[in-house]
Chain A
């Protein structure tokens, strides 16, 4: 029989008890780990064999309840799904186990997830439709219509994307990737009757999709490989398609790219900022503009470079545009 590979590894484990501690500390454990063990096996081993006071959430052990999400060396993982040997390959033989958000820890890995649920509830995570209780015929959704939802209904609410999102950390209002996925799950559902209202919620600057920094941390963090940012882009598209978009700096910025490409092929950076901010708003960028001008970083309008074969670009923009603003 083939021998099972084993490694002796060092684990630094986050410890904190909100009832007792002022600051967290880390306990170190050296454990023998075999190739098929997952992070949850390590947490169990520590709790059952070394320190019974270690607290963490876990339930299904099948990657579907979403309760055992933590971070290992800053990588969001589902403990029951992540093989320890795979982590060793990325980070080496010392692994740091921490809760999803250290600032929100109650006890060890158990965090206060209320901010996640608050945002989740803000997008009305349920179908809104007048249901005929005595239908005369079936209410059929075609496969093509169902496919529009993509995989958005596979979210297990583990919170990995939410606590990996840098905007959630920087902007308390921000709804965040998980709830956007849920919003899209219903805006893409042909049965839902609240599409516009839903889009109004996610269109707001501050909480809405316009504050996404496009870092793809959510896509990387999702254990179900849902790519939340793809749904965020779909929401952006729907905001335009449904005529919900308001003329604000973020919307004009997105639209401004088309105008600029039509005119020059490549961007007219200065004009894009002016178009987005407006003639008055653009003035607040004056200090940066002066600094850039001094360093030869601003091309004057009469020297604006243009793409070759610009007539092709103009033609394509005319024939291939699918949305208006």
Chain B
């Protein structure tokens, strides 16, 4: 197999509040011999909030991001579910509406760019499980995640709406996603079966409706804990921020102590590949895991 190469759209959090996500992504890519070219020109995707305010502006900005991957002639990978949603939604709308595409390109041409639609957009998780393959990753495991129960939390914007997401997520079913669970097993861990793995963490209403956000998070984390999870792993930094930073507030809403370490997907993979915890930025996690020496 020829070397896998992608343009990496980091999104905002990987450059700010979850530096560990960028560190671990780069470390894992290196260990798996995947080349990632950073898209330093890219802006925020609007996180589904700019879209509420100004839909057209968000299309132009997202199309501009994709242009830079197209210029490199590379498929784009995202490491945030919400970046994945807004980027692929933009692509979908422009690729199926010539008029809209022309309207957007009219603006992009003012800055010397043109959206063509030549770069695929997929989340890094699916680059790993679908392009590289779970078996290939399993071959490189040095420290199997033996005896540990991992609860996969998929995050909404990688699996829904399935009509859109299925174009880049290997046909994952939103009611029974399996990719992360397969990965966990391949890394030597036990994947936890629990009802809330495909549910919402509530991140998007954290400011205006903290009670709702904490209730949703509480349902998910208590379900994972009650099914004997030792840790939760997620491909989405927004779910991670919610679960990792807000556990004290989630506990209050749950009416019981919710205490469980939360990992980014590449952090978990990196541990199994034998990468030093520091290179995976484990020291940045607010919920400290007690099983990493």
Question: Which residues of A are at the interface with B, using a C-beta cutoff of 8 A?
Answer: 73-75, 90-91, 166-167, 170-171, 205-206, 210-217, 219-220, 225, 227, 229, 233, 236-237, 240, 248-250, 253-255, 257-258, 260-261, 265-267, 269, 273, 276-277, 287-288, 291-292, 295-299, 305, 307-309, 312-313, 315-317, 319-323, 325
Contact = CB atoms under 8 A, between A and B. Distances in A.
B12 A267 contact: yes
Given A73-B175, A170-B212, A257-B49, A233 B207 contact: no
A321 B42 CA distance: 18
B48 A214 contact: yes
A121 B12 CA distance: 41
Contacts of B57: 258, 316-317, 320-322
A61 B203 CA distance: 39
Contact of A308 (B18, B41, B209, B245): B41
Contacts of A277: 207
Contacts of B213: 213
Interface in B1-32: 11-13, 15-19
Contacts of B203: 213
B212 A211 contact: yes
Contact of B44 (A167, A206, A265): A265
Nearest to B82: A214
Nearest to A324: B54
B227 interface: no
B195 interface: yes
B53 A257 contact: yes
Nearest to B245: A288
Interface residues of B, number: 65
A292 B204 contact: no
B133 interface: no
Contact of A171 (B12, B48, B211): B211
The winner among A170, A225, A307 for most chain B CB atoms within 10 A is A170
B118 interface: no
B167 interface: no
Contacts of A312: 41, 64, 111, 113
A323 B173 contact: no
Given A90-B176, A211-B205, 9 more contacts: A216-B160, A220-B174, A237-B52, A261-B50, A312-B64, A313-B64, A316-B64, A323-B54, A325-B53
Contact of B205 (A213, A307, A323): A213
A295 B12 CA distance: 17
B132 interface: no
Nearest to A268: B16
B208 A250 contact: yes
Contact of B208 (A91, A248, A260, A295): A248
B110 A316 contact: yes
A257 B107 contact: no
A170 B215 contact: yes
Contacts of A215: 156, 160, 199-200
B246 interface: yes
B193 to A, nearest CB: 12
A319 B208 contact: no
Nearest to A73: B175
Lowest 4 A-B CB distances belong to which pairs? A216-B160, A236-B52, A215-B200, A250-B208
Interface string B77-97: 000000000000000000000
Q: Is the interface of A mostly helix, strand, loop or mixed?
A: helix
Contact of B207 (A167, A219, A273, A322): A273
Nearest to A312: B111
A305 to B, nearest CB: 5
Nearest to A303: B16
B55 A233 contact: yes
B286 interface: yes
B228 interface: no
19 contacts: A75-B175, A213-B212, A213-B213, A214-B204, A227-B161, A237-B53, A250-B208, A254-B50, A260-B44, A261-B46, A269-B12, A291-B286, A297-B16, A297-B18, A297-B19, A313-B61, A317-B57, A320-B107, A325-B53
A86 to B, nearest CB: 11
Contacts of A295: 283-286
B283 A323 contact: no
Given A258-B54, A316-B111, A170 B16 contact: no
A315 B53 CA distance: 18
Contacts of B176: 73, 90-91
A75 B245 CA distance: 31
B103 to A, nearest CB: 9
Contacts of A257: 44, 46-47, 49-50, 53
Nearest to B46: A257
A89 to B, nearest CB: 9
Contacts of A292: 17, 245, 286
A16 B18 CA distance: 47
